[in-house]
Structure 1
Amino acid sequence: MVYEKQLSLIEANLKINFEGKSLKFIDPIYRDINRYFLPFLEFIKQIKGKFNITRDKINIRFKHKSPIYINYKTDNYKFTVINYILYLSLFDICTILNAKSSWDYNSESISLYWNKDKSEIYTIPSGKVALIRFEDVTAGDEYLSSDNLEKFRVIADFMFSAGVPFHIAWIPRFVDPPNSIDNDISKHYSLTNANFLFTIEYLLNRGGQIGLHGYTHQYGYEVSAEGTEFNEERNNDEKCIRKRVEAAINTAKKLELPFKFFESPHYAATEFQQSIFEQYFGIIYEDCVGIWGDKIVKSPRNHRTLYIPTPLSYVEGKDGTEKMLDRINNLDEETLASLFYHPYKDFEYITLKNSTNGYPLSEYSESSPLHQIVKALFDKKYSFSKITSLSINNEKNPPIKSFFNLSKLYSFLKFKIKSIK
């Protein structure tokens, strides 16, 4: 559909290559913050494509390839018109053409290639629900390197081909006060930030769903992904809570990223903070404070917001994978098979290569923790799901309610015992 925004002109030194050849555009390249827009029809011509336009429809043909049909007014692509020239976002061009990208920060170039990968998509029989979330994804540290972002796209390809939908806990603003870094990709343009946004869009296109993992996931002089943003002492009044939640939401909206959930950093939010969160979100991807358990529950306040726990926890330390596999193998029928995983842990299991014309190749070891976790859950007859596909009965869950009452009773008895002493 036609995208109506004020775009910025790109500096002339950004280079776009296709199949090893540099493309020289007559019309300039634009950007919407960190999303690139190319003159679409000129691009098609330069890569030896032919097109025919009939009203709102564009028919595109390349030799030895299937024809492509687009309705630029109704299809879910980011088209825009500048000075009577039809533009399309770089990511959408790659999607339509099934093209791979390789980003080189040193030469300030983006190289595109026809996708030659032969990936088989497996059909997984339905089974017990399993959930996986990629944790602490943010435009900083491991996730700005060109190689690492390419590896992240390789991970997304694996998940897609394996039939595993996944979730992305995204920290919208990366802050590192000790190093004077404050990176908000909805405000600050750079080639690295553009690559990060491109990669996030790629993950979403490969079966991912994105959520907001706080706003900065830190407090004061702490570094994002390490610090704690919400707890009894931090951002604990309604005004502060709303300010940070709304800042995270506005960042996602500005970037047009369709967030589906919220997760408080380190699960440290209080019951009051969660009561504010659920006024904004239909899904909170953590335990509901006061109703600790291994199942999905509805908020006892608005009876609408789902709280989704992660009883399998995450991979931590050198023996973390073995411990995770042990938890999976000993999982009982009543416990939700839900976990979170830091995707950078798999980067060392991916080797990037290039063919003679620069085509990006990769080798992804099946011994990686993520491969092992996915296989273990499949072996236990689980099938992965998106959290937006989940629901629970409207009736209150008796086991949860009983646990909640027992928890209150335990606290009361503990208090009485202390007072007797």
Structure 2
Amino acid sequence: MKKRLIAVLLILGVIVGSTAIAKGIMKNPKLKTAAASGGGNVEDSRVGDYSHFRGLPLSKDNIKLKFENKDINLTLPIYYEENRYYLPITEIISKLGGKQILKDNSLTLELGNITQIIDLKENDYLNNDHVYHLKKKSLITGDVVYLSMFDFHKLFNLTVDWDTKARTLAFYYDRDNPARQARPATGKPALIRFEDVSAMNYALPESMEKLRIVSDYLYAKNIPFHVAWVPRYIDPRPSSRADIDISKQYSMENADFVYTLDYMLDRDGLIGLHGYTHQYGNTVSIEGLEFHAPFENGVNIPDTEKYAQDRINLAKDAAQNLDIPYAFFEAPHYGIFSSQLMVAEKNFDIIYEDYPGSPNQIVVRRNGNKTTKFIPTPLNYVDGKKDVNRMINKVKNLSPNVLASFFLAPNLEFDSISLSKDKDGYPTYTYSTSVLHQLLKVFQENGYRFVKITELN
């Protein structure tokens, strides 16, 4: 009889204890509802205890976050790799009242009225019947998920305000989503290229924000564009001694620049390698030549094929280390001797300049199974704001058999862009009539259709 009584009491104790635990879970929504174990599943609506988190094998930085002008006080660290930030999405989503469900190879994230389901195996997600690939793979340890900052911005349609002085990233739901214009089905092909883009000559946060605004403007008009990028900036003068290689050196400013490159790619931009440093010896990047050429200081630059291949390798390595896809090559100031140009041919499918002796013509060169296409810029470049009328006349009088290809420094647009913030801190701007606005209007009026360099026959 005693044994039966003890057994009954034990059963009742288990039932009561289980009920109490269940009530405790219901009262504390911060407790996780399931645990990750190997290939198991985690359903996590609001995870609050991260004492089990063992960290990631990446470098950390003390970056502050805001969302809709409110601080997000994180327990988990922010990491960086290749000048890209990785954010603890699990904790961020939780603190913003969202939900995360991690199940097998699927990650569901809910924030506000947006739900995204990421296929972790394919590294992509479906949005409005279109498949998008994440820029970087998600990093998952236990039930904690990290995503790159760029992917967080893209998944939830966010605007990011960079404050490098305060070391703060402020996120806002994007309030500027103009309808994208339809791209003309036909028209004479035209190309636009932004020249001499490097981390140093666009180092200020305001400059990078304006680069993104120009990219947004072109994206809304459905105009693809090209960016001639210089991976490493060198100024050997004693007054400067600058040497910025964003593929090797971390800083918040460099991270802002890499984010801007990712942003321009996402806005239908194509990036090309404009040399490695755009200089040699005691010359300054952007100003100097890099390859052997029969003018200016080019005669003092080594003329060997090995030198050319070494410089090209350095440029390609920088792009690959940063996971920046490149579509073309352009020699700085078009200065490169024929033997070194042949080296470039072996490395690139498209060289964005005239082929020697064939000005203003698209030239296709074949060497065995390798084909290289030379794409000219017959309209040349916009030499400052005062040069707009000359360029307009050139467009109007261009022969229909000549490619309408031109280039300009994107900072020509900057005086036409005024930055401000509203009462909630949301970044706003005005973008009045600019060099680009005027030129694109003339191209459109004369029956041109902007295309990517990779679309030319």
Distance 1:214 1:317 in 2: 23
Pick from 404, 408, 430 the counterpart of residue 341 of structure 1.
Answer: 408
Name the structure 2 match of 1:382.
448
Give me the whole-angstrom Cα distance separating, in 2, the residues matched to 1:346 and 1:323. 17
Q: TM-score, structure 2 length as denominator?
A: 0.81
3-state SS, counterpart of residue 204 of structure 1: helix
Of 211-220 and 51-60, the range deviating more from structure 2? 51-60
Deviation at 1:82? 5.5
Alignment equivalent of 1:200, drawn from 261, 266, 272: 261
Aligned-partner SS, 2:151? helix
* Pairing 1:185–2:246 present: yes
Counterpart residue number, 1:25: 74
> How big is each residue's C-alpha offset from its partner over 1:347-393, in whole Å with a ceiling of 9 and x where there is no partner?
1100011011110101101x2001111111111111111111222xx
- 1:194-238 Cα deviation digits (max 9, x unpaired): 000001100000000101000000111111111011133323101
Q: Secondary structure at the match of 2:328?
A: coil
CA deviations 1:67-114 (Å, max 9, x no partner) are 222112211221343543321110111011110011112111111111
Percentage identity across paired residues of the two chains = 39
Paired position in structure 2 for 1:69: 117
Contact 1:310 1:339 (C-alpha < 8 Å) held by counterparts: yes
Q: In the alignment, residue 46 of structure 1 is paired with which amino acid? A: K
Asked if 2 retains the 8 angstrom alpha-carbon contact of 1:133 and 1:339, the reply is yes
- Per the alignment, residue 94 of structure 1 pairs with 153
Partner of 2:224: 165
Residue in 1 aligned with 2:351? 284
Range with greater deviation from structure 2 (129-138 or 23-32): 23-32
Distance 2:99 2:365 in 1: 55
Asked which structure has the greater CA Rg, the reply is 2
Whole-angstrom CA distance in 1 between matches of 2:57 and 2:438: 44
1:240 aligns with 2:307: yes
- Spell out, residue by residue over 1:298-348, the C-alpha distance to the aligned partner (whole angstroms, 9 max, x if none): 026557100000001111145211111111111111100101111011011
Looking at structure 2, the residues matched to 167 and 228 of structure 1 have their Cα atoms a distance apart, in angstroms, of 21
8 Å Cα contact 2:349-2:373 kept in structure 1 = yes
- 5+ residue gaps, structure 1, are 1-5, 392-421
> Is the CA contact 2:276–2:312 (under 8 Å) kept in the aligned structure 1?
yes
Residue of structure 1 in register with 2:335 after alignment:
268
Choose 16-25 or 66-75, whichever is displaced more.
Answer: 66-75
| Separation (CA, whole Å) in 1 of partners of 2:384 and 2:422 | 36
Contact 1:40–1:88 (CA under 8 A) maintained in structure 2: yes
- What residue number does 1:406 align with? none
Q: 1:353 to 1:317 in 2, by over 3 A?
A: closer
Partner residue in 1 for 2:235: 176
Partners of 2:412 and 2:428 in 1: CA distance: 20
1:9 aligns with 2:75: no
Secondary structure at the counterpart of residue 348 of structure 2: coil
Give the Å deviation of 1:7: 4.9
Q: Give the match for residue 79 of structure 1.
A: 137
Preserved contact between residue 189 and residue 404 of structure 2 (Cα < 8 Å): yes
Distance 2:415 2:247 in 1: 30
Match of 1:137 among 173, 183, 197: 197
- 1:294 and 1:309 in contact (8 A); partners too: yes
Q: Which stretches in structure 2 are left out of the alignment for 5+ residues?
A: 1-55, 125-132, 294-298
| Shift in alpha-carbon separation, 1:7–1:305, aligned structure 2, 3 A | farther
1:357 aligns with 2:357: no
Is the CA contact (8 Å cut-off) linking 1:8 and 1:33 kept in structure 2?
no
Query: Pick from 419, 437, 442: which aligns with 1:371?
Result: 437
Match of 1:110 among 169, 183, 190: 169
C-alpha deviation, 1:59, in angstroms: 2.4
Q: Secondary structure at the match of 2:414?
A: helix
Moved more, 244-253 or 115-124: 115-124
Partner of 2:35: none
- Equivalent in 285, 288, 307 of residue 227 of structure 1: 288
What is the letter of the counterpart of residue 89 of structure 2? F
In 1, Cα distance between equivalents of 2:264 and 2:384: 26
2:381 corresponds to: 314
Corresponding residue number in structure 2 for 1:49: 98
1:124 paired with 2:183, answer: yes
Q: SS at the partner of 1:319?
A: helix
Structure with bigger RCO (C-alpha 8 Å, 6+ apart): 1
8 Å CA contact 2:120, 2:138 repeated in 1? no
Shift of 1:287: 0.6
Q: What is residue 255 of structure 1 aligned with on the other side? A: 322
Cα 1:318/1:132, change in 2 over 3 Å? closer
CA–CA distance in 2 between the matches of 1:118 and 1:236? Answer: 50
Q: How many residues align?
A: 381
Asked if 1 retains the 8 angstrom alpha-carbon contact of 2:385 and 2:412, the reply is no
Residue 16 of structure 1: how far off its partner (Å):
1.2
Q: In structure 2, what is the Cα distance between the partners aligned to 1:360 and 1:271?
A: 48
Question: Is the contact made by 1:134 and 1:167 (CA closer than 8 Å) also made in structure 2?
Answer: yes
| 8 A contact 1:79–1:87 mirrored in 2 | no
